[in-house]
Chains A and B, each alone.
Chain A
Amino acid sequence: MKKHFYLFIVLVGLISLLFIPVHAEQKSVTVMGVWTGAEADAFNKMVAPFEKETGIKVEFTGTRDLPAILTTRVEAGNPPDISVMPNPGQMIEFAKDGKLVPLATFMDREKLLSDYSQAWLDLGSYDGKLYSIFISADLKSMVWYNPKAFAAAGYEVPSTWDELMQLSDKIIADGNTPWCIGVESGAASGWPGTDWIEDILLRIAPPETYDAWVNHEIPWTDEKVVEAFEIFGQIVLNEEYVYGGPKAVLTINFADSPDALFTDPPNAYLHRQATFIKSFMLEHFPDLVPGEDFDFFPFPPIKEEFGTPALGAADMLAMFNDTPEARAFMEYIASAPAQEIWVGELGKLAPNQKVDPMVYPDDITRKAAKFLGEASVFRFDGSDLMPAAVGSGAFWTGILDYISGYPLPEVLAQIEAAAVDAYGK
């Protein structure tokens, strides 16, 4: 009897908790993003001056399940004020459904045009209206190497694909392995290979072909796509070309794969990966000096006429609720001072042209920013743009199948089948 009495008391106590207001009455803006860990810390650093100046509190939620959580909350009519867009395709979907606030209604057009190149504004627009702002970018078309190991072995940085292949053969002739590649990444295994295919395709065909491939206007069995896979295969399927052979490529984690550059003697000499890999190299080997112990050269052109395009990814934010606080925040993150804090913390590249190059942590990053700024062609990582069933599904598993030795026509036919389902055409 007494026990039940206590239970009752506990219940009453809990029910009274209901009346504690969850959100204090304060001007605030809710922001949702994919950033966690160090990136969330950097985001908080970026918003600190904004909060101090305006008195608006930024309530940030970072989750790696952003696509699922965001779609659910938007569908249910409870979106955050501002959110990171998982990819440009998703932004276009939201814009089409009229969920996003067009930014031109309150942002200064002249200032945007002077801060951003037309290419970035176009990427953030749908149907001629600007919906989202880019705050940082990553460059993917990079081949990392160890300058000290290069100097010791007398190797030169190649500037064309033929030179790159000659260098690879020379490394083999010296009894070493040229490349280290790792495509394992838990449930996302395979994605590092998709970047290879995209970079190669941009170098053997005009950007229009790339766009057509991303939008599934040409099939996966198109000769250019086949050729891109075959060029990738020349490296990844060759026991002598990759450290550990294709079997190891499948099992080595993408983050661990560049470790092979820094062993003594080097297990491998070349590694193709995006800007972010620098942080992993420094985490695994804290004594490395950027620029001295590791550096990069642009993924070289394959066919001269297509030059050296830049493949990349970028972080974009869009606005769901038109509140004065959200407006103020969008204006703030589009500005150079905000992006200087953000990219300075993370070593990403800033889309805002007014950002001072001195904020970049090292010469490598400045070099990458220059490459990105000067590239005649910039394209988004295609797998991010494709429907999830292909871009983060069949394409990934296709890469794994191809490296495991399945015949290419079979692999491509399977991706094509998934694509026909996903695009509905």
Chain B
Amino acid sequence: MIAKQNRFLLSLPLHIFIILVALIWIFPTAGLLITSFRPASEVASSGWWTVFANPFDFTQFTLSNYKDVITNIGIGRAFVNTLIITIPACIIPIIIASFAAYAFAWMEFWGRRFFFILFVGLLVVPLQMTLIPILRIFNQLGLSGSFLGIWLAHAGYGLPLVIYLMYNFVSGLPSEIFESATIDGATTFQIFKSIVLPLSVPALASITIFQFIWVWNDLLVALVYLGGTPDVAPLTVRISALVGSYGQNWELLTAAAFVSMLLPLIIFLSLQRYFVRGILAGSIKG
């Protein structure tokens, strides 16, 4: 009993510190959330913290920003486009990376080390440098402006990091499992399918979150490879077009930010129990 109390007292400063850090982190988001419920004229003339002067005066809040965003013509199509882009752009690199990670970690072949370093080394190539050459190739193949093109682009940009994280996880699995599986007569693919994949679920979940959020929030890659016409434009393109070229109507952005945040938030919350485990799993070996 006493020991328990002592432990509580000892960890108290740590908890206070963590809560403090959490509050600092959440502060801008809270401001954004409050702003998104304020009318445009108020947003332009006073700061969001002024609502706390009389927080129960609900006339100072409005849903009109959300209404404007959700009823904006084409936003539904943009949502579907984002899904069409995001889901394959997550699945493709993760499948490839799982195969690759397993091969790099457990299969013997010539140049294994070299290819692994080559792939991971691609992490340092800035995405912006690749836009023109890749778009040229896409033009020749007729891929620009098509969803297949942007899936491949996102897969390519995501692969180095995803392979690296998966490799660290998969290479940390105990070698005895693989030995006994081999002795039992399992083929390489069976080992991958029945042992490596199920064991990697935590890592897969956290990597899915990374890749999903990156693709979901992407504006540049979509604009360059896909163009911004209404039939292919994702949410980000649509939302950035809500604001005038001198920054008028930026109060709509606050509401739009929360609308577009909704799905990633759901994904994150439903996968988060894997998330911490997953990151740790990828970060250190063994």
Tell whether, in the assembled complex, residue B229 and residue A284 are in contact, meaning their CB atoms are under 8 Å apart. no
Tell whether, in the assembled complex, residue B145 and residue A23 are in contact, meaning their CB atoms are under 8 Å apart. yes
Tell whether, in the assembled complex, residue B245 and residue A72 are in contact, meaning their CB atoms are under 8 Å apart. no
Q: Which of the 9-residue segments A34-42, A174-182, A328-336, A379-387 touches chain B?
A: A34-42
Tell whether, in the assembled complex, residue A63 and residue B229 are in contact, meaning their CB atoms are under 8 Å apart. no
Tell whether, in the assembled complex, residue A14 and residue B87 are in contact, meaning their CB atoms are under 8 Å apart. yes
Tell whether, in the assembled complex, residue A4 and residue B193 are in contact, meaning their CB atoms are under 8 Å apart. yes
B44 proximity list for chain A (CB < 8 A): 255-256, 283-284
Task: Say yes or no: is A98 at the interface (Cβ < 8 Å to chain B).
Answer: no
Task: Say yes or no: is A17 at the interface (Cβ < 8 Å to chain B).
Answer: yes
Query: Which residue in A72, A77, A283 is a CB contact (below 8 Å) of B224?
Result: A72
Give complex CA distance A38, B250 in Å: 12
Tell whether, in the assembled complex, residue A35 and residue B224 are in contact, meaning their CB atoms are under 8 Å apart. no
Tell whether, in the assembled complex, residue A38 and residue B228 are in contact, meaning their CB atoms are under 8 Å apart. no
Q: How far is the CB of B93 from chain A (nearest CB, A)?
A: 13
Give complex CA distance A24, B84 in Å: 18
Task: Say yes or no: is A424 at the interface (Cβ < 8 Å to chain B).
Answer: no
Query: Which residue in A37, A69, A75, A279 is a CB contact (below 8 Å) of B223?
Result: A69
CB-CB contacts of A14-38 with B at 8 A, as 1s and 0s? 1001100011100000101011111
Tell whether, in the assembled complex, residue A60 and residue B248 are in contact, meaning their CB atoms are under 8 Å apart. no
Query: Which residue in B131, B147, B241 is a CB contact (below 8 Å) of A22?
Result: B147
Q: How far is the CB of A352 from chain B (nearest CB, A)?
A: 22
Give complex CA distance A319, B249 in Å: 31
Tell whether, in the assembled complex, residue A60 and residue B229 are in contact, meaning their CB atoms are under 8 Å apart. yes
CB-CB contacts of B182-210 with A at 8 A, as 1s and 0s? 00000000000100010000000000000
Q: Which of the 9-residue segments B101-109, B132-140, B165-173 touches chain A?
A: B132-140
B146 proximity list for chain A (CB < 8 A): 18, 22
Tell whether, in the assembled complex, residue B88 and residue A61 are in contact, meaning their CB atoms are under 8 Å apart. no
Query: Which residue in A10, A38, A75 is a CB contact (below 8 Å) of B249?
Result: A38
Q: How far is the CB of A82 from chain B (nearest CB, A)?
A: 13
Give complex CA distance A73, B136 in Å: 9
| Contact flag A284-B136 (CB < 8 Å), given A30-B227, A38-B248, A63-B228 | no
Chain A, interface SS category:
mixed
Chain B: which residue is nearest A253 at the CB level? B247
| Contact flag A283-B227 (CB < 8 Å), given A36-B240, A36-B242, A76-B132 | no
| Contact flag A276-B145 (CB < 8 Å), given A4-B193, A63-B228 | no
Give the one of B138, B193, B227, B243 with max A CB within 10 A. Answer: B227
Tell whether, in the assembled complex, residue B248 and residue A34 are in contact, meaning their CB atoms are under 8 Å apart. no
Query: Which residue in B40, B131, B147, B243 is a CB contact (below 8 Å) of A37?
Result: B243
Task: Say yes or no: is A59 at the interface (Cβ < 8 Å to chain B).
Answer: yes
Give complex CA distance A38, B68 in Å: 13
Tell whether, in the assembled complex, residue B132 and residue A14 are in contact, meaning their CB atoms are under 8 Å apart. no
CB-CB contacts of B214-238 with A at 8 A, as 1s and 0s? 0000001001100111111100010
Tell whether, in the assembled complex, residue B249 and residue A17 are in contact, meaning their CB atoms are under 8 Å apart. no
Range for the number of chain B residues in contact with chain A: 35 or more
Tell whether, in the assembled complex, residue A39 and residue B87 are in contact, meaning their CB atoms are under 8 Å apart. no
| Contact flag A37-B132 (CB < 8 Å), given A11-B91, A14-B88, A72-B224 | no
Give complex CA distance A279, B247 in Å: 12
Range for the number of chain A residues in contact with chain B: 35 or more
A32 proximity list for chain B (CB < 8 A): 228
Give complex CA distance A279, B88 in Å: 43
Tell whether, in the assembled complex, residue A37 and residue B145 are in contact, meaning their CB atoms are under 8 Å apart. no
Give complex CA distance A10, B87 in Å: 10
Query: Which residue in B40, B136, B147, B240 is a CB contact (below 8 Å) of A76?
Result: B136
Give the one of A72, A76, A284 with max B CB within 10 A. Answer: A76
A280 proximity list for chain B (CB < 8 A): 246, 248
Task: Say yes or no: is B41 at the interface (Cβ < 8 Å to chain A).
Answer: yes
CB-CB contacts of A195-224 with B at 8 A, as 1s and 0s? 000000000000000000000000000000
Q: How far is the CB of B245 from chain A (nearest CB, A)?
A: 5
Chain B: which residue is nearest A22 at the CB level? B146
A37 proximity list for chain B (CB < 8 A): 241-245, 248-249
Task: Say yes or no: is B71 at the interface (Cβ < 8 Å to chain A).
Answer: no
Tell whether, in the assembled complex, residue B223 and residue A65 are in contact, meaning their CB atoms are under 8 Å apart. yes
Tell whether, in the assembled complex, residue A22 and residue B232 are in contact, meaning their CB atoms are under 8 Å apart. yes
Task: Say yes or no: is A62 at the interface (Cβ < 8 Å to chain B).
Answer: yes
Q: How far is the CB of B252 from chain A (nearest CB, A)?
A: 8
Give complex CA distance A292, B131 in Å: 52
Q: How far is the CB of B139 from chain A (nearest CB, A)?
A: 5
CB-CB contacts of B236-270 with A at 8 A, as 1s and 0s? 01001111111111000000000000000000000
A59 proximity list for chain B (CB < 8 A): 229-230
Extra A-B contacts (8), CB below 8 Å, given A14-B88, A18-B148, A30-B229: A17-B84, A39-B245, A59-B230, A76-B144, A77-B136, A78-B135, A255-B246, A286-B41
B residues at A contact (CB < 8 Å): 40-41, 44-45, 84, 87-88, 91, 131-133, 135-136, 138-139, 144-148, 193, 197, 220, 223-224, 227-233, 237, 240-249
Jot down 14 A-B pairs with beta carbons below 8 A, ordered by A.
A11-B91, A17-B88, A22-B147, A37-B248, A38-B244, A39-B245, A61-B233, A63-B228, A64-B240, A76-B144, A78-B138, A276-B246, A283-B40, A284-B44
The 9 closest A-B pairs by CB, nearest first: A61-B228, A76-B135, A37-B244, A36-B241, A59-B229, A75-B132, A76-B136, A14-B88, A76-B132
